[in-house]
Structure 1
């Protein structure tokens, strides 16, 4: 979606986090405000947002910058590459490669299908062989590209998930998140909005199963996910145990963004592929189990500044999240990014967090 939220972590912050402590500074802070914004962070512990989540730092260093003449903007999805670098998709049809340590761009390439159609690219997954799987919210579609950028094809999509009149989806509210589960065989895409006929709070997550040991996928089960009132799914990423981290976000004019990080589990959920409408109390349907890990507005602001009203100046249009590694005590390291939509009132911001997951 071309108007979104993102969470990210600043390049200067990330290097320091790997050592002993870091000083987190807003990118545009003056000398006096920079001193006021300093925050010492113990690696792997960070500042508490909830019993499950801590924030280690943020960075605005990418905000309103360019690389090779391309705005580093509208970033909507993140993934760790096989070589330790990071990939960030912009929904203006660009794929950026970010340095694994500094998070600064080192390469960029356009995203399009063979006929030249540009992608409204919202999410990305890197397969074990380096293949990039990238969603297109316009179609919707999941396209496959080689590591060198060669187009490899696209995955099948159920008719119901296509944009009306071909299906029941709303334009600009389709495949917003993408994750490859820890089994390496199950790909999951999340719909940003509800289908026509489904309750407004229900989102469908579509899965695909790998065909043998190839890079091809066939359609799999579909699950129902009940989001918090007024929030859409902005992105998803896989945990080590077959569950998903779900980034929910919303926006209220004059108030600002709402961003929540949720742990979701489909292992006991009902396959709703053949259920035409998901309404009411979902009689006969077991939705995905859901545990709220944190409301990001509860995180300390760490001296962040905002260009528009926000419940917490740390917040912006956060749209992407990925797992980057683990702490020594087993918590997940997360990187999030916000989408500035190339607007003066929004910020491209990176956030680094750690999450301890509830047991199954």
Structure 2
């Protein structure tokens, strides 16, 4: 988020404000997870290998190497890192050091509030969401705009639609097989119950373009928004939920979500008092505050000094036991009291 995280009130009233029903009860964790906790465990399902502050308050070729809002694995094995001030970096996957940087712009040459990133394995093009309008555009590697995807009018920022500025498309992911793209709204639109956010999908056509497809509703924990989503190899979603309370710090939780059996909400105007609507099922994997700090320090109060404004996430592979290797990154907002930090997790789903 370009101007910092939205303050979270973390009151239970937000969760109680809706009558929508989930597509099944959330459990304490994946049903088939092992009971034994791994080293550096955050929970029975998530462990922290290490963290790195190597890029904190650094520049590359005159561009500030921070404000990171999204990550993706490129086809050559390097990392693509998206800054929310129209910068796209190529990072060395081992050292995290920048190797290249490109500037992004809209059709009129204006900067983006760039938040979500997908590298399309078919041709290496980049799909990038901006929460200004919001929008999703396809870019060539050199930054040329190739396509702009349609967006439902209700998800546009008011007065064009019902969304609030700076609270729109944050997460972006391509589901396995490459046929469906999904973008997550960060917060609820006007007319929907607080805490109910919409996930919009697009279907790839035979010509390779994307058309609007199903939409789903997801309930966040009280006071939290969704800064990122990432597809797992089996078609489920890793969902980050995040909030900030002044004087306390960040809340960041990692959930596993399942779109199956969720209602297509694309034709439903208001998601308030709709017991017939089945939400995306979610299961808590971990609260990042429970991870070992591993010597991390914080520049402002935090429940755990490891925490910061975590906003980007990508799946980089899996280990020999089948656990997913997941990389997170925080958005420091180019602020002296925040840190650009990478987190190397292993996640059992």
**TM-score, normalized by length of structure 1?**
0.86
User: Following the alignment from structure 1 to structure 2, what is the Cα–Cα distance between the partners of residues 148 and 340?
Assistant: 26
Does residue 336 in structure 1 map to residue 298 in structure 2?
no
The partner residue of 1:286 within 257, 275, 278 is: 278
2:147 paired residue among 150, 153, 156: 153
- Aligned ranges for residues 89-128 of structure 1 at < 5 Å? 89-128=82-121
- Aligned-pair distance for 1:46? 4.1
Contact 2:117 2:129 in 1 (8 A): yes
Correspondence for 1:184 among 178, 188, 200: 178
Distance 2:57 2:177 in 1: 38
Q: Is residue 2:167 matched to residue 1:173?
A: yes
Cα distance per residue 1:25-57 (max 9 Å; x no partner): xxxxxxxxxxxxxxxxxxx95410011100000
Output the CA distance in 2 between the equivalents of 1:147 and 1:181.
Answer: 21
| CA deviations over 1:207-235 (Å, ceiling 9, x no partner) | 000001x4310000000000000100010
Q: Is the 8 A contact 2:66 2:332 kept in 1?
A: yes
Q: Does 1:299 align with 2:286?
A: no
Deviations 1:65-96 (A, max 9, x none): 00001111110000000110111111111001
Where has structure 1 moved over 4 Å in runs of 4 or more?
Answer: none
Alignment partner of 1:210 out of 184, 204, 207: 204
Show the counterpart of 2:244. Answer: 251
Report the alpha carbon displacement of residue 149 of structure 1 after superposing the two structures with TM.
2.4
How many Å separate the matches in 2 of 1:186 and 1:268? 17
- What is the rounded CA distance, in whole Å, between the counterparts of 1:114 and 1:107 in structure 2? 23
Aligned partner of 2:314 among 315, 318, 322 = 322
* Residues in 1 aligned to 2:328 and 2:275: alpha-carbon distance in whole angstroms: 35
Q: Distance in 1 between matches of 2:186 and 2:275?
A: 23
Q: Structure 1: where are the runs of 5+ without partners?
A: 6-43
The alpha-carbon deviation at position 197 of structure 1 amounts to 0.6
Q: TM-score, normalised by structure 2?
A: 0.89
Kept in 2: contact 1:3–1:339 (CA 8 A) = no
2:275 aligned counterpart, secondary structure:
coil
Identify the match of residue 157 of structure 2 among 139, 157, 163.
163
| Equivalent pair of 1:76/1:338 in contact (CA under 8 Å) | yes
Equivalent residue for 2:130, pick from 125, 136, 149:
136
Structure 2, unmatched stretches of 5+, are: 6-36
d(CA) in 2 for partners of 1:130, 1:46: 36
1:107 Cα deviation after fit: 0.4
Q: Residue 263 of structure 1 aligns to a residue in which SS?
A: strand
* Equivalent of residue 65 in structure 1, options 55, 58, 64: 58
Asked if the contact 1:334–1:353 (Cα under 8 Å) also holds between the matched residues in 2, the reply is yes
Equivalent residue, structure 1, for 2:343: 351
